[in-house]
Amino acid sequence: MNEIKHLFLPFALFTFILIAVIIALLLLYKYFDKRLKIKAIQKIIKDNKDIKPEQIQAIISEKNNKADVRKGFVGIGLSIAFIFFALIMGSSGYAQAKASLLGMAMFPLMLGLTYLYFHFIENNKK
């Protein structure tokens, strides 16, 4: 039992730092993406005086059709990483860690499959 305590602190610390870094990178990406769109709209308005509001709205609300596929595969990849880590922990004799990590792997797996499902539903509508 004492060995689990020695493993838990570095694992928890690494996990929380990794989550914080991923969230920071995602927020930074969204910030730069919005800033790039605003600069593009400003340049278009400056160069072309007769632009319609619908055209500006189309630039702002440009949706990437492959975003659901990417999110789906990232979720599935994350769950596969959790499963491999759980199997490694289980082979080391930590059955409780294996069970909890396998349970944690189900969440990103279900999210990834849901995103893939939504992608295929949207493509079938078109």
Q: Tens of pLDDT along 11-63?
A: 778 888 998 999 999 999 989 988 988 888 888 888 876 777 777 777 777 66
Question: Residue 98 phi/psi, 5° resolution?
Answer: -60, -45
Residue 75 in contact with residue 111, Cβ under 8 Å?
Answer: yes
Confidence at residue 95, expressed as pLDDT on a 0 to 100 scale = 79
From residue 56, alpha-carbon distances to 34, 36, 66 in Å are 13, 14, 22
Q: Tens of pLDDT along 88-105?
A: 888 877 778 888 888 888
Query: Residues of 3-36 as b/e, b for ≥16 C-beta within 10 angstroms?
Result: eeeeeeeeeeeeeeeeeeeeeeeeeeeeeeeeee
1 has pLDDT over 60: no
